[in-house]
Structure 1
Amino acid sequence: MEKTDILTGHDLTAWGHDPGPQFPALLERANTLLEKGGTPETIRAELASAIPPKPEQFALLPKGSIPFHENITPADEDEEVNLAKVREAMLAVMQTPTVIGGAIMPDACPAGPVGTIPVGGVVAAHNAIHPGMHSADICCSLMMSDLGDADPKTVLDAAASVTHFGPGGRPQGQRFTVSLDLLDAFRDNPFLNSKKTVQLAQEQMGTQGDGNHFLFVGVSRQTGRTVMVTHHGSRGPGAKLYKAGMEVAERFRRRHSPQALKQNAWIPADSEEGQAYWEALQLIRKWTKTNHHSIHQATTEAAGATSRERFWNEHNFVFKRGDVYLHGKGATPAWSGFAPDADPHGRTLIPLNMAEPVLVVRGRDSADSWGFSPHGAGRNWSRTEHMRRLGTTTPTEALAAETKGLDVRFHSGKVDASELPSSYKPAAAVEAQIEAFDLAEIVDRIDPYGCIMAGEMPRFFRKRKSRD
């Protein structure tokens, strides 16, 4: 055998060592053994103990092997096309190695490339948290305040003076206070401790963002009292957590399941990272609830009203039942005690569109929905397609025709046609399917007086948001 003069990194790689910071020390050790008369064979055997065990591999599940329940009935061709796309997405999601089941709600619609959990989707997983399955708008949620006999217009005017829609946060001097304990908890969590995340938590308290987020004022059919409802998520802090979570999940996916789709990467729940991420989710949930509460309280005070009761629920989140992690993307938990601060009467909120009532429901904990109900009306087509279908009708004309008699305001001053009632599935059909699939009991309807939404945002803001 020809004598080897020196061993290189190529030799180590050929022997099964992965390149990395340990290579220089290994090479020095290998060549020291070589100088002492060792052969490549004996040196390879001696260094074998330094090769770490191969990471456990998780193969994709066979397509169709994990079922998901369809709690949806298409009524026309548009809904058939929409459902076909949702099915295609869920079939791919169900191949993720951690998944043990799933469901789709009456408001289901696609939310990205094939294999992305759809809006109105529920995915149950074992020992895994999938950041992509709660999406960047973590803890998108609703809060309701009963304001008694307050005048609805007075409340809406007060809300307009208080709330903040659109890009960024509140300017210095107009910010809402954030608990120092909460900010300290952010700083103690590895997923939330960046300077930018803490800064956003301070700046964006009391803000609602854009898109389908709203502030709604109406009247309860059951009590005749004025009610305010807000809808928004965790804004910048949640987006930062999502990004950090996806980075960790992607590192795990590359090591353990490279065939899994990137959007379905996961963090093992029992790992150190998984426990830290779970805690971060709870902190973001606390921040978001405080955000809702701050807007409600400031509006109540500005309107000279009194809040009789207030409750809330999220619909973009991860919940734990036993050892199962339930991911709801635009799906509302519908079982009693889904969170320690859930409404003691088991009520949650389901909005439909700006011209229809907000439903107050009590969940049925249906097995076929993994205990969830829908979060709204959903869409049968994209925002772009809706604009095309309006044809020559202007957004202002469509708004006047579709919301006659209502006080609808857009913070930007420009109508967002993609949020008009006609862009959503028919409210009556969604209500009927909630009842037909026994997803929830409708206990009250909050009939609309009016609402505030962000409105059409400048293009630079939409581009910036897509990069967050």
Structure 2
Amino acid sequence: METQITGTDLLSAGYTETPILGLALKLANTAYSGQPKEDVVALFKKVKGYPESFLDDEVLEPLATAMIEEANIPKEDIIPLIENAKEYAVYGEKNIEKGALDQMNIAMRLPVTVAGALMPDAHQGYGLPIGGVLATRNAIIPYGVGVDIGCRMALSVYDIPAEDYMLNESKYKRELIAHTKFGAGHGYHGQYKASHDVIDRAEFGMTKFIKNLQDKAWSQLGTSGGGNHFVEFGIIEFEERDEALNIDKGRYVALLTHSGSRGFGATVAGHYTRLAKDLCKLPKEAANLAYLGLDTQEGQEYWIAMNLAGDYASACHEVIHDKMAKAIGAQVLAKVENHHNFAWKEMHEGEEVIVHRKGATPAGKGVMGIIPGSMTAPGFLVRGKGEEAAINSASHGAGRQMSRTQAIKNITKADMKQVLKDHGVNLIGAGRDEAPMAYKDIDMVMAAQTGLVDVVAKFTPKLVRMADDGSRED
């Protein structure tokens, strides 16, 4: 009676679950079907160990050749992480979720990492946590920058006293609706398209891939997208005169915007992240931190595209702010703008490094920035202190304490309506995933970073517009 050779028999002889196993099984049960099982297994074990000795065997030559060819296929070179994570500063650690800390610990084990810091609004993201700051040596991490490249805050302080808003709220609401557009994929067309020099920049001709995004970028110029992006009117209060801004003590109407590089930036991020993953093989837990060397063509392409996306995001804010100032007949006393989701060449301990701030605000000494709270919580105009341990950074907002899914499950429409009423905020658009209760306490976050920034003024939201279709950026 013939005994069938099984996959288990050959696995015990050193074979693995590859196409080679199927070829060996076929040969074992055809050419050697009448032989004792132990002899056949022993023979195939020899072939596995020394395939070159069977290249002249009329039966086993195909198997031996396949084994040698398989052995000569180049193996993917996995770049190992360093064994122990480098130390880094954490601000407000007791209110930061474990997932964000775990992600930062992995980022600190990259061979290109020089230094890092975690801001008090940190929460888990993709690759680098949101609120993570990472300095690298001659390497750029697309997911260390983020999907919404150059996402930023922009604040215009008007020559209009706070009382004017209270008396003319309907006018502000009318103009806000007329001159803003929200939602993933949404844009302007034909005669309604905005104009800005950024659309004519030579960098759009850098590659065919970037060139093909130029029309999309133009149509979305001056729009705000989905997610947590907003345009809002509010009251900003300076408790004392600020000499640098040349603004007297008082309460003024102000416009605050938050948005980024729209579909253009998101498409660039996706393209170069995939490219980085193909070129930079990291262990599974670090795969989203794949990086591109700045001395490579791909790294240079991404660097140029990232900077173009950042300037495009700035242009989007400029278009909105210019439209709004003209619509309400205001003079701008001061404008402050800062961005996150970006990378900069900076000096750190005497060395030029690439500083990634994914959801973190630049806070070098004397650098102005805006840190928002939520649609009901105040935001703060700040001036950086230049703290080296924080890599000259601060938080970019309050930070989420609930995921979008958790917020929708746990917060009712009635809850949201009540909290808006309690704070005297008029909301246009936005879903429960952006409810104020989904965010951390901004006062707690600010208390954790008193060593990083000084507060210059306090902004209180009054009229907020966000995407009303639950969309995220495409």
Question: Are residues 1:71 and 2:91 paired?
Answer: yes
Structure 1 stretches of 4+ moved >6 Å: 1-4, 9-12, 54-57
**Cα distance per residue 1:9-63 (max 9 Å; x no partner):** 9699579576xxxxxxxxxxxxxxxxxxxxxxxxxxxxxxxxxxx998632111x
Following superposition, the deviation at residue 416 of structure 1 comes to 1.0
Match of 2:13 in 1: none
Q: 1:301 to 1:396 in 2, by over 3 A?
A: farther
Structure 1 position 429 matched with structure 2 position 444? yes
Residue aligning to 2:459: 446
Unaligned runs of 5+ in 2: 1-52, 239-249
Hey, what's the Cα distance between the residues in 1 that align with 2:141 and 2:426? 37
Q: Could you tell me how far 1:94 is from its partner in structure 2? A: 2.1
Q: Percent of pairs identical after alignment? A: 27
Amino acid corresponding to residue 381 of structure 1 in structure 2 = M
Aligned positions of 1:87-166 closer than 5 A: 87-112=101-126, 116-149=127-160, 151-152=164-165, 153=169, 154-166=171-183
Contact 2:381 2:456 (C-alpha < 8 Å) held by counterparts: yes
User: Normalising by the residue count of structure 2, what TM-score does the alignment of the two structures yield?
Assistant: 0.76
Matched, 1:349 2:378: no
After superposition, the Cα gap between the structure-2 partners of 1:443 and 1:17, relative to the gap in structure 1 and judged at 3 Å, is same
Counterpart residue number, 1:209? 225
* Contact 2:151–2:261 (CA under 8 A) maintained in structure 1: yes
Aligned equivalent of 2:317, options 272, 292, 307: 292
Cα gap change, 1:15 to 1:416, in 2 (>3 Å)? closer
Taking only aligned residues, the RMSD between alpha carbons, in angstroms, comes to: 2.8
Deviates more, 1:234-243 or 1:440-449: 440-449
The amino acid that maps onto 2:136 is: A
Counterpart amino acid of residue 160 in structure 1: I
2:395 matched residue in structure 1: 374
C-alpha distance 87-405 of structure 1, shift in aligned 2 (>3 A):
closer
Q: 1:439 Cα shift?
A: 1.3
Give the count of matched residue pairs. Answer: 396
Deviation digits for residues 206-250 of structure 1 (CA, Å, limit 9, x no counterpart) = 110111111121222113221111000100000111012112211
TM-score (norm 1): 0.77
Q: Partners in 2 of 1:157 and 1:247 — Cα distance?
A: 43
Q: Structure 2 matches for 1:165-176, cutoff 5 A?
A: 165-167=182-184, 168-176=186-194
Query: 1:98–1:127: 8 Å Cα contact kept in structure 2?
Result: yes
TM-aligned CA deviation for residue 101 of structure 1: 2.2
Contact 2:188 2:220 in 1 (8 A): yes
Q: Structure 1 stretches of 5 or more lacking a match?
A: 19-53, 337-344
CA distance in 2, matches of 1:416, 1:227: 24
Paired with 2:405 and 2:283, the residues of 1 have a C-alpha distance of 34
Separation (CA, whole Å) in 1 of partners of 2:414 and 2:463:
16
Distance 1:156 1:358, change over 3 A: farther
Alpha-carbon distance in structure 2 between the residues aligned to 1:320 and 1:307: 31
> Residue type of the partner of 1:173?
Q
What is the CA–CA distance in structure 2 between the aligned matches of 1:118 and 1:61, rounded to whole Å?
A: 19
CA distance in structure 2 between the aligned counterparts of 1:181 and 1:418, rounded to whole angstroms: 33
Who is 2:266 aligned against?
Answer: 239
Distance in 2, Cα, partners of 1:180 & 1:329: 24
Q: Secondary structure at the match of 1:225?
A: strand
- Partner of 1:47 in structure 2? none
Offset of 1:347 from its aligned partner? 1.1
Counterpart-to-counterpart distance in 2, 1:86 and 1:287? 29
What is residue 419 of structure 1 aligned with on the other side?
Answer: 434
Which residues in structure 2 correspond to 1:19-98 (within 5 Å)? 58-62=79-83, 64-74=84-94, 79=95, 82-98=96-112
